Amino acid sequence: MEPRSRLLGDRYELLVPLASGGMGRVWRARDTLLERPVAVKVLRSEFTEDATFRARFRAEAQHTAALHHPNIASVFDYGELQVDGENLAYLVMELVEGETLSALLEREGRLDAAHTLDILRQTSAALAAAHEAGVVHRDIKPGNVLVRTDGVVKITDFGIAWSASSVPLTGTGQVVGTAHYLSPEQAEGGKATPASDVYALGTVAYECLAGRRAFDGENSVQIALMQIREQPQPLPPDVPAGVRGLVERAMAKDPAARYPDGAALRAAVGAATDVGATAPIGVAGGTRTAVLPIPPPLPASVSAGPRTGRARRAPVAMLVGALAVLLVVVLAGVLMNGQGATGDQPSSEEPTSEPTSEPTSEPTSAPTSAPTTVAVLAADLIGRPVDEVQAELVGRGLQVQLAPVETADVAAGLVTAATPEGDLPPDTTVTLSYAVAPAPAPAPAPVPPAPPEDENNGNGNGNDGNGNDGRGNGDEGRGNGDDDEEEGDD
């Protein structure tokens, strides 16, 4: 919001605005008590009366203040005030002298592999610290990555982060984040995990290397669906194979196929920088060499637990190759001995990584039956942004029809109703009613002024028959009228 006073909490003097985000405006400010420059984020005025948004903003301070890392912008203070009867909330942060990664990309177009790896190394280290503390950022994007003038990178804006140690502030299944960097599971309405942050950072790395976003479209719903269903265009051919493989794994659709958290991604970036085959990287004024290995196969811990169809394909492919070699050896022995080979019936469950000495045919996975119904609960959808709800329902196999409703009681763009609800068959059309600002009431038609009263003719009789036309005074006019009647009677 635009504070009426430029001195918050009798301490922080607001100087000039630096940036505006989804929840507030950031100001360059001065701490008058400690005499140091700071950044102050002030909650937007449309949110200040909403207890949920204030709680989320307060959580930003609590989450970030608990994180201490050189690649995370520090939080110094938080305050809530009432000014002229209105609520005001603000967050005091470390002032980072530099620019956002989005501004850097806008100026440079694209970055070389070495610069991209350096940014990945620092941001993944910041995420490793957050994930270790139980915090998922949920909105990693170039605008939330600050690049200092000396090259140090800092992540900021944990305003929509979710902490495992606290009660979630968002509704069940609520989609939170920016569509261009939203993980597929978030776009489908699922819970964000550390692997979701890895996906978002992978899309940021893709944008750095390609000079374009991985997915782009006409609206956030279309982009969210692309995150779920489509693969990005290949990176430019000058991107080394090791970096290409690292980004592709970070952007795997299935969370189980990605690096599981920031620490794993940081280790992979370190390996890509320190050991392995070298590849030339073009830089201004010449060429330098960086060490860029192909990322190692998934660790065993990633394959543990339930797996989806996408997660099964990678280990199954490796196993099929091993079994094919074994099958060739066995068949050769059979042909030599003139005997038929027998083997176990392949199981519908995922095969183990150690084949038996008996030949087996190629393992197959039992087909996953499509869900017969989709559960829709209106209470979980009301009050959320309509484009996010639409993306979630479409991603779950439903059709969506939008119905704008003029109301001043709900913020514009938020869902006010959803019908039908319950367990719905796929392709059912759900009507989402959402708030739009009512049209301004038409101005009342101007009332013409009443004609001024004339004392001389107001009481005159215009119908007198003696030629006196009512311009006489009131008494005379009435008198003349009477005389006319009398003469008429005679």
The question of whether 150 is a catalytic residue gets the answer no
- Residue in 342, 340, 336 with CA at minimum distance from that of residue 359: 342
Residue 135 CA to residue 282 CA, distance in Å, equals: 37
DSSP lists the bridge partners of residue 143 as none
Contact 251, 235 (CB under 8 A): no
Contact 428, 447 (CB under 8 A): no
CA distance to 12, 33, 203, per residue, from 29 (Å):
6, 12, 33
Residue 158 CA to residue 174 CA, distance in Å, equals: 17
Query: What are the helix (H) ranges across 230-383?
Result: 241-250, 262-274, 309-337, 378-381
Pairing assessment for the beta strands 429-436 and 399-406 based on DSSP bridges: parallel
Return the amino acid letter for 173: G
Kindly give, in sequence order, each residue whose CB lies less than 8 Å from that of residue 483, ignoring residues fewer than 6 positions away: 466
- Residue in 288, 1, 302, 262 with CA at minimum distance from that of residue 137: 262
Pairing assessment for the beta strands 75-83 and 86-93 based on DSSP bridges: antiparallel
The side-by-side arrangement of strands in the sheet containing 86-93 is: 7-8, 12-20, 24-31, 36-43, 86-93, 75-83
Pull the structure tokens for residue 324. Answer: 């094919």
- Residue in 60, 68, 66 with CA at minimum distance from that of residue 26: 60
Q: What angle do CA 184, 186, 187 make, to 5 degrees?
A: 60
Kindly give, in sequence order, each residue whose CB lies less than 8 Å from that of residue 477, ignoring residues fewer than 6 positions away: 459, 460, 461, 464, 468, 470
CA distance to 94, 415, 418, per residue, from 170 (Å):
27, 14, 18
CA distance to 61, 117, 130, 152, 154, per residue, from 306 (Å):
35, 32, 26, 39, 35
Kindly give, in sequence order, each residue whose CB lies less than 8 Å from that of residue 35, ignoring residues fewer than 6 positions away: none
Return the amino acid letter for 102: S
Catalytic residue among 10, 112, 118, 139: 139
Report the catalytic residues. 139
